[in-house]
Structure 1
């Protein structure tokens, strides 16, 4: 077991000198494939466990896709999600992120309201029109929307889809952002012949996220095998036509998930999965050298302990905790003049708007609320300050990897309302939800009493 897994040429290869770790690694990869298929993506053809956390696993995927796309490919179309590791995994590979700002939407679950009438447009959803604009000319899109980016280099000759490594989408995320519209993005991938990479970090614990991945593959596979007619774009339009005519095989499609976030094991592993044995094998072969076998042993023990029934029980409990958390936040919020943001398309995370709280007009007053929750043992809860307040206070936007994103953590450069995030992740219990809600109620009461008193003193 001490020898680790893999050989110098392939992390999934059997090492004759280490039969124990090789056997466990083979078993774990087979068990994980069955787990992903049963969890909602039955068409998944291959996967492997890589002893790196999610960000580095995504880097490995980007490098493999880059090699398959050729020397001209240098851009990654990236619907904005405010997590620094997502940006760094692109920059580390030497690729250029092309951020796509989200747009606001009411969401799909209108619950009797005609087309969402009367409901707030809280959700941040994928801007498909902007993605298509960026596909046609990524460098022009960057120059127009992010003129201060440090990598405003001339576009390669030809430009267009051939210069794009992939569209890099996200499923699990902090509310009010919701999972990207994977099937709609996949249609664009088919139209322009571009690979699709999905950051599914927390997503295996969500049936909705896994069904979205499966549906995306069906779009890619069915449309690609039948799409042999020229598109309606002209040949002069950045080479779009000649790239798609006659293409029968679907674009590359990979999705990556975290082991610690979904299976509650120590940090240090991720699962790279796909719908083509060839592309998954190429990613595995790109890992340099052997690797630690510790994540495989952790996963092996965990899956054997859980079994399928144990996993299903965890999923059912998480969904019950999500409903309990949503109802509880609605009740607590109403007592303090706050509202639960309307984000029905986010199956894990929730957000409570803090516009009804006194804040002295200062963002640091609200962030103290998050600090107070942390000191009371409520980890994972955070207060997010919007771009509007950030700009009003003259604060510089957060810059990561050479690109500056106003309102960082709010996922949007046009965010206007501060909010508090809370999530129902796997492993939680109803008792923990109730304990959190009680502490939140108490802290909000203290907060609303203290701030007016400080105003009077000032």
Structure 2
């Protein structure tokens, strides 16, 4: 940046001031040159400087522009500009989410930069994948993936190992595909789907001349166990059918990441995760990643029209602000808090004559209750504890499909960002209402 300050300052002060300016601009230049997640997070002022410089590249910032189109990023108040970090033209182009937008060189560069940094972050965690940030949350991101599967592979039926989660079910309905549920079974305290039943469902659909796509679930509330995504990936490879994984909060724990790494050796067409559950962003953004770059391109083609830049910018801000070193610290803290939660709930269960359910989940824990679990959860809410879920044994949420679970229970979470004091407080409050 060539600023002519000659004659405005003594020469030695001008030199010193430009040196400081150069060092500040160098931080922004490094982000653009390296295009990877920084090891140490960057402060907000330099992130704002980056966003401001990029946004000034968009044509609506041109002081001499003549705007005669029907879509010219005309914005009524500064509040609205601030809400999208001044990327008022949005991202993408009609018919392709990742295409550069002629009126928005800055926003287009910002989106490309976000995806590059997102890929570097996933590679840092051990996932060698291509990735895009999406301007829609998990359910709609799944819909984009299913739509791409229909277009590329002619998929017309979704095989869904049942998890009582409305988003994937609605995503399937939204794009007009039929869903074939594979029922859960009970094994000890764990609710799971038998992989053999998934393969049988695939065989039946193929026999009926259909083209199935499997939508598996890696992350869900216990006692529902993660689907065996590795074995499902092997089966999908054997039958040459697409496989999409719902990994809403898979990025925050190596238990899930290790499963994804193994599954990616076989047939995985796309994985969907949430930006808010993993990257501390406001709700509204998604992350889609895969080894298959051509399928990722197909996904971007399924998005109709342009998109708001807001969810994408929030992902970029989080990646730059957190940094890789701090994210690992947050992952370690999450794991430590989960161990503390289990220890405290085990002790509480012994005192109250309840059971800490033996489920396989690195994020959430379950404790039984002889009281109405909805009443318990309601009391916790009134005690200003948000997050715990009360589930009756005849409720299909997280339990056996069309069957009854042996216990009423409360689900308590220890997701990334939680603190030890949060864990102590929630167990103390839970003890008071059980």
- Shorter-chain-normalised TM-score: which range? 0.7 to 0.9
Any unmatched runs of 5+ in structure 2?
Answer: 1-86
Instruction: Give 1:338 shift.
Output: 0.6
1:146 matched residue in structure 2: none
Deviations 1:176-202 (A, max 9, x none): 112110111111111211111000101
Instruction: Give 1:103 shift.
Output: 2.4
- Choose which of 212, 223, 243 in structure 2 pairs with 1:165: 212
Deviations 1:251-295 (A, max 9, x none): x61000000111111111001111111000011122111111111
User: Contact 1:77 / 1:164 at 8 angstroms: preserved in 2?
Assistant: no
Instruction: Give 1:443 shift.
Output: 1.4
User: Contact 1:55 / 1:85 at 8 angstroms: preserved in 2?
Assistant: yes
**1:134 and 2:149 correspond:** no
Any unmatched runs of 5+ in structure 1?
Answer: 106-120, 139-157, 221-251, 360-364, 391-406, 445-458
Aligned residues: 347
User: Contact 1:179 / 1:209 at 8 angstroms: preserved in 2?
Assistant: no
1:424 & 1:39 partners in 2: Cα distance?
20
1:413 & 1:282 partners in 2: Cα distance?
36
1:439 & 1:61 partners in 2: Cα distance?
41
**1:30 and 2:46 correspond:** no
Structure of higher CA gyration radius:
2
**1:181 and 2:228 correspond:** yes
Mapping of residues 344-359 of structure 1, within 5 Å? 345-354=360-369, 357=370, 359=371
1:198 counterpart SS class: strand
Task: Output the aligned Cα RMSD.
Answer: 1.6
Deviations 1:23-55 (A, max 9, x none): 11111101111112222322x1x1111101110
Instruction: Give 1:440 shift.
Output: 0.7
2:292 & 2:278 partners in 1: Cα distance?
23
1:76 counterpart SS class: strand
2:168 & 2:95 partners in 1: Cα distance?
27
1:95 matched residue in structure 2: 177
1:341 & 1:268 partners in 2: Cα distance?
33
1:178 & 1:436 partners in 2: Cα distance?
24
- Choose which of 366, 370, 374 in structure 2 pairs with 1:367: 374
Deviations 1:42-88 (A, max 9, x none): 2x1x1111101110110011011011222xx4211111111111211
- Scaled by the length of structure 2, the TM-score of the pair is 0.77
1:428 counterpart SS class: coil
2:401 matched residue in structure 1: 412
2:257 matched residue in structure 1: 210
Instruction: Give 1:409 shift.
Output: 4.1
Mapping of residues 267-306 of structure 1, within 5 Å? 267-306=283-322
1:286 & 1:338 partners in 2: Cα distance?
49
- Choose which of 330, 335, 351 in structure 2 pairs with 1:314: 330
1:323 matched residue in structure 2: 339
2:186 matched residue in structure 1: 104
- Scaled by the length of structure 1, the TM-score of the pair is 0.73
Deviations 1:355-410 (A, max 9, x none): xx2x5xxxxx44211111111112111111123xx6xxxxxxxxxxxxxxxx3442
1:296 & 1:68 partners in 2: Cα distance?
26
2:126 & 2:218 partners in 1: Cα distance?
14
1:132 & 1:296 partners in 2: Cα distance?
37
1:48 counterpart SS class: strand
User: Contact 1:65 / 1:165 at 8 angstroms: preserved in 2?
Assistant: no
User: Contact 1:29 / 1:47 at 8 angstroms: preserved in 2?
Assistant: yes
1:93 & 1:9 partners in 2: Cα distance?
16
1:219 & 1:56 partners in 2: Cα distance?
25
User: Which range moved further: 128-137 or 329-338?
Assistant: 128-137
1:38 & 1:413 partners in 2: Cα distance?
42
2:335 counterpart SS class: helix
**1:123 and 2:190 correspond:** yes
- Choose which of 123, 133, 141 in structure 2 pairs with 1:57: 141
Deviations 1:188-219 (A, max 9, x none): 11121111100010111011111111111113
1:382 matched residue in structure 2: 389
**1:424 and 2:414 correspond:** yes
2:6 matched residue in structure 1: none
1:435 & 1:408 partners in 2: Cα distance?
26
